[in-house]
């Protein structure tokens, strides 16, 4: 612990000196994090509307929104889609990210930088732009993808309409794998070459050295990255909204899309808030796992 | 006579006129607000001249607002919030009457109307557009309306073996015609009905409502019952309409998925696909031909010979046999007006025969007065007027209550689910019922009989 110039005195002045530096951070957290959360929880127990009578005179309705939420098959369908979306996105991002990182470290430095630039470009492009690029690439008979298919003589596909959930998962993996690649690149550098050489001398093939040596060594990083990408993916809205808007019908409607639809299409702000609170709950669970894994990692390294 | 002399003379005349009529009531000024457009301005200016000639001393102050329909509504709502800025007379979209009457912005007219000798000229059906869905009172005198039908390409239907002179009697007849087009004319889309969220209000009104209004009991048995003031859930007619759309979609009678999901398709359809002969039938409004005339957005000289119009049949040909959906603008009065009788006088001037005729001709809308729709000039200037006017007797209006925009959004979502979304009718309709209950509140919905 740092020993400040003021020493470790017990007087009120000393206490104040400790509190003051913390105040801005605490205030920020309360103002921009705690208050909105409490407000959302409160709103979720009212019938607040976007316009009309329920906008001017919202009334407290207790847990009615939650009752509707959990008895509506639409919520469960959206929840199921969210699980598939998050599960496959996270798995895809981690596997693809690791593969790129692994292949990349074997290349020459010039190729390494080039690969980084290409992958990271996908990541730094704003979500709306990325979504729109994919939308134009996949949409319609004359889409870029179908023109490429023409060259190979494949039948035209309209995946945004025929397989919307799969399409948004692929798009999300494409966009998110750069983050995982960066994380795994750093982790791979920490795997000492001696260990790998030792494995090679013992006769381990490439696959054996990946599964038997590298992955066990970087396991804490994998765990943390999985939680981080889960947190990121849970709230994905822009990409889905732009490419499919949750449709056709409700076939790619995840919880964030359902929340938007209820709050703004139907003006049910209170009900939308209850979905926000549900999402927040999942986020909190993922965060707790993250914190726990982080502690485990620290204990091991420290 | 030079200018000064002219001024002097008119001042003298005015002074003499005022002195000569000591019994004249205090001069009043009525403010009129309307959405600027050549035809509304023409009618308002003519009515102003006529009214001021009949009521010497009283003046009409015309306040034309140049904006989109939506902005116009917002601006008038803002003016209405305070008695000092509220206009006396409002050019009002019939679609907004229920909400504005509930907010206290409009004066009920029933008593005054019953004393107006020309009121009998107005179609009782079209008058519904000036009524509130909540209390059933008339708040606006209708100036014009619109109706919808199935436009079809005569050549294509002839080639498909349906015949150039076509009038379906039931929904099944429409599906049968579509099946023949599908079978005999590859490359032609049999029928366009808007069925997705991309179609927006056109999907709700031109897509679904034209169907459910033709089921037994009509709109009040499938969507909103004005008697009980409740929204309807669990309706068979609603499910039948969804099933009709699903059948049309599943059999490939509608346009492609990409077109259905394209929010600009409404223009593509009318300005390209129809003139190119790529679509055999399409459900649309009476106003659509204005795009094809010279000076329109997509001139097409042959439209009148190529296209025919068929009435939209009811489900099994029951009731009147046909149905349609309508909207249209009205003229209404603020309750803050000081001299209501005088304001009513101006309103009846706006809605008299001559002005209603001008309005119908120049706006290309459907007349709501019997003497207007029988007028020869009217019938000659608009080749479709006779046909579309005849639909006023079977038409319906949307239940424009406060939550209507959300209900409309819900309807679009439900239509999209059973077509492009591939859901079953039962799943989608069940979701509609639950969501409608939540939107309206469970005390404001009732189960269909």
Residue B17 pLDDT exceeds 60: no
Share of chain B above pLDDT 90, in %: 75
> What pLDDT is attached to residue B19?
43
Selected residue of B254, B413, B432 to mutate for chain A interface (largest A Cβ count, 10 A): B413
Dihedral in degrees, nearest 10, Cα atoms B283, B287, B293, B296 = -110
Q: B327, B286 in Cβ contact below 8 A?
A: no
- Please indicate whether residue A29 or residue B253 has the higher confidence score (pLDDT): B253
Nearest residue of chain A to residue B401 (CA atoms): A52
Closest partner residue to A267 (CB to CB) among B406, B417, B419 is: B406
3-class DSSP state for residue B132?
coil
**Phi-psi bin for B319: left (phi > 0), alpha (psi -120 to 50), beta?**
left
Closest CA to B195 of B205, B185, B184: B205
Q: What is the pLDDT of residue A139?
A: 85
What is residue A206's predicted lDDT score, i.e. its pLDDT? 86
Share of chain B above pLDDT 70, in %: 94
B396-430: per-residue pLDDT in tens? 999 988 889 889 999 999 999 999 999 999 999 99
User: DSSP letters of A80-124?
Assistant: HHHHHHHHHHHHHHHHHHHHHHHHHTTS-HHHHHHHHHHHHHHHH
* Residue B257 to residue A248, Cβ atoms within 8 A: yes
- The whole-number pLDDT of residue B16 equals 44
Which of A55, A162, A249, A264 is the best mutation test for B, with the most CBs of B within 10 A?
A: A249
Give A141's contacts in chain B (Cβ within 8 Å): 256, 258
Asked whether the beta carbons of residue B422 and residue A251 sit closer than 8 angstroms, the reply is yes
Q: B204, B406, B423: which to substitute to probe chain A, counting the most A Cβ within 10 Å?
A: B406
Note whether A159 contacts B: Cβ–Cβ < 8 A.
no
pLDDT at B405: 84
Taking only residues 40 to 59 of chain A, the set having a beta carbon closer than 8 angstroms to any beta carbon of chain B reads 52-53
Which pLDDT band holds residue B253 (cuts at 50, 70, 90)?
very high
How far apart CA B255 and CA A179 sit, in angstroms, is 42
Residue contact B420–A247, C-beta within 8 A: yes
Using CA coordinates, name the residue in chain B closest to A67: B438
Question: Which segment of A231-245, B16-30, B131-145 scores lowest on mean pLDDT?
Answer: B16-30
pLDDT of residue B119: 96
- Kindly report the nearest CA distance between residue A279 and chain B, in angstroms: 20
pTM for the whole structure: 0.82
User: Using a CB-CB distance cutoff of 8 angstroms, which residues of chain A are in contact with residue B258?
Assistant: 139-141, 158, 161
Tokens 């502690």 appear where? A295
pLDDT for the residue B180: 97
Q: Which domains does chain A have, with CATH numbers?
A: 72-267 (1.10.3720.10)
Give the pLDDT confidence score for residue A301 in this predicted structure. 57
Interface contact B257-A161, CB threshold 8 A? yes
Three-state DSSP class for B125? helix
Q: How far is CA A213 from the centre of its chain?
A: 28
Would you write out chain A's pLDDT as a tens digit for each of its 302 residues?
344 444 455 678 888 888 888 888 888 888 888 898 999 999 999 988 876 677 778 889 999 999 989 999 999 999 999 999 999 999 999 999 999 999 988 888 898 888 888 888 888 888 899 999 999 999 877 888 999 999 999 988 888 888 999 999 999 999 989 999 999 999 998 888 888 889 888 888 888 889 988 999 998 899 989 999 999 999 899 999 999 988 888 899 999 999 999 998 888 899 999 999 999 999 999 888 888 877 776 666 54
B196–chain A Cβ distance below 8 A for any pair? yes
Question: Which spans in B144-228 are helix H?
Answer: 154-159, 171-184, 201-202, 210-212, 219-222
Among the partner residues B405, B417, B434, nearest to A249 by beta-carbon distance: B417
Range in A49-58, B21-30, B81-90, B152-161 with the lowest mean pLDDT:
B21-30
B381 pLDDT higher than 90: no
Express each pLDDT in B62-98 by its tens digit: 999 998 777 888 888 888 888 888 899 999 999 989 9
Region B304-315: what's the mean pLDDT? Answer: 96
Residues B21, B53: Cα–Cα separation, whole Å: 15
**Residue-level pLDDT at A50:** 77
For the cut 60, the answer to whether the pLDDT of residue B4 exceeds it is no
Mean pLDDT, chain B, whole residue set: 91
Query: Mind telling me how many Å the CA of A139 is from chain B's nearest CA?
Result: 8
Distances B135 to A185, B138, B142 between C-alpha atoms, Å: 70, 9, 18
The kind and range of the H/E element at A229 are helix A219-234
What is the pLDDT at residue B108?
97
Selected residue with higher pLDDT from B407 and B297: B407
- pLDDT value at residue B68: 79
List all residues 6 or more positions away from A32 whose beta carbon is below 8 Å from its beta carbon: none
Distance CA B385, CA B366 (A): 7
Is the Cβ of A265 closer than 8 Å to some Cβ of chain B?
yes
């Amino acid at each position: 612990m740092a020993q400040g110039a003021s020493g470790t005195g017990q007087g009120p002045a000393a206490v104040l000196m400790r509190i003051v530096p913390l105040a801005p951070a605490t205030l920020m957290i309360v103002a921009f994090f705690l208050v909105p959360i409490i407000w959302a929880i409160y709103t979720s127990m009212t019938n607040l509307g976007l316009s009309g009578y329920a906008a001017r005179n919202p009334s407290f309705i207790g847990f009615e929104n939650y009752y509707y939420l959990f008895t509506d098959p639409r919520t469960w369908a959206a929840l199921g889609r969210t699980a598939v979306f998050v599960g496959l996105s996270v798995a895809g991002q981690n596997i693809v990210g690791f593969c790129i990182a692994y292949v990349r470290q074997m290349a020459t430095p010039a190729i390494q930088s080039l690969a980084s630039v290409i992958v990271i470009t996908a990541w730094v492009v704003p979500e709306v732009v990325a979504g729109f690029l994919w939308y134009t690439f996949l949409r319609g008979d004359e889409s870029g993808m179908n023109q490429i298919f023409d060259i190979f003589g494949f039948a035209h596909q309209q995946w945004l309409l025929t397989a919307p959930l799969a399409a948004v998962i692929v798009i999300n993996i494409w966009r998110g794998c750069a983050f995982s690649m960066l994380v795994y690149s750093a982790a791979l550098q920490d795997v000492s070459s001696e260990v790998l050489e030792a494995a090679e001398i013992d006769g381990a093939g490439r696959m054996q050295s990946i599964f038997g040596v590298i992955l066990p060594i970087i396991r804490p990083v994998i765990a943390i990255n999985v939680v981080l990408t889960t947190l990121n993916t849970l709230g994905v809205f822009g990409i889905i909204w732009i490419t499919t808007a949750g449709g056709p019908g409700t076939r790619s409607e995840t919880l964030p899309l359902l929340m938007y639809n209820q709050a703004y299409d139907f003006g049910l702000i209170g009900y939308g808030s209850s979905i926000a609170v549900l999402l927040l709950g999942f986020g909190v669970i993922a965060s707790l796992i993250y914190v726990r894994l982080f502690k485990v990692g620290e204990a091991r390294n420290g | 006579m030079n200018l000064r002399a002219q001024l002097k003379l008119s001042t003298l005349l005015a002074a003499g006129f005022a002195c000569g009529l000591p019994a004249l009531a205090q001069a009043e000024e009525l403010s009129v607000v309307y959405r600027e457009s050549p035809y509304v301005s023409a009618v308002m200016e003519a009515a102003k001249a006529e009214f001021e000639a009949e009521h010497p001393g009283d003046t009409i102050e015309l306040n034309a607002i140049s904006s989109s329909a939506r902005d116009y509504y917002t601006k008038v709502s803002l003016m209405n919030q305070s008695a000092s800025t509220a206009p006396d007379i409002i050019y009002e979209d019939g679609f907004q009457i229920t909400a504005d009457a509930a907010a206290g912005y409009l004066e009920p007219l029933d008593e005054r109307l019953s004393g107006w000798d020309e009121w009998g000229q107005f179609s009782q059906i079209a008058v519904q557009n000036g009524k509130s869905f909540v209390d059933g009172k008339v708040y606006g005198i209708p100036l014009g309306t619109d109706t919808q039908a199935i436009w079809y390409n005569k050549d294509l239907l002839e080639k498909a073996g349906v015949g150039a002179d076509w009038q379906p009697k039931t929904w099944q007849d429409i599906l049968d015609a579509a099946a023949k087009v599908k079978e005999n004319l590859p490359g032609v889309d049999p029928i366009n009905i808007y069925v997705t969220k991309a179609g927006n209000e056109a999907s709700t009104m031109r897509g679904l409502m034209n169907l459910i209004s033709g089921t037994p009991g009509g709109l009040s048995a499938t969507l909103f019952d004005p008697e009980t003031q409740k929204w309807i859930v669990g309706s068979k007619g609603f499910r039948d309409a969804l099933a009709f759309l699903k059948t049309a979609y599943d059999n490939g009678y509608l346009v492609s998925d990409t077109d259905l999901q394209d929010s600009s398709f409404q223009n593509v359809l009318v300005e390209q696909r129809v003139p190119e002969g790529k679509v055999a039938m399409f459900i649309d409004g009476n106003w659509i031909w204005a795009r094809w005339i010279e000076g329109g957005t997509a001139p097409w000289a042959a439209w009148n010979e190529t296209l025919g119009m068929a009435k939209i049949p009811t489900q099994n040909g029951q009731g009147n046999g046909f149905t349609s959906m309508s909207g249209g603008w009205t003229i209404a009065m603020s309750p803050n007006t000081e001299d209501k009788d005088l304001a009513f006088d101006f309103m009846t001037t706006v809605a008299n025969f001559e002005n209603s005729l001008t309005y119908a001709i120049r706006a290309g809308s459907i007349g709501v007065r019997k003497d207007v729709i029988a007028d020869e000039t009217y019938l000659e200037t608009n080749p479709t007027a006779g046909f579309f006017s005849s639909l006023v007797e079977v038409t319906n209006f949307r239940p424009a209550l406060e939550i209507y925009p959300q209900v409309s959004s819900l309807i679009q979502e439900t239509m999209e689910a059973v077509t492009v979304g591939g859901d079953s009718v039962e799943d989608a309709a069940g979701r509609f019922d639950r969501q409608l209950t939540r939107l309206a509140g469970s005390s404001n919905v009732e189960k269909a009989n």
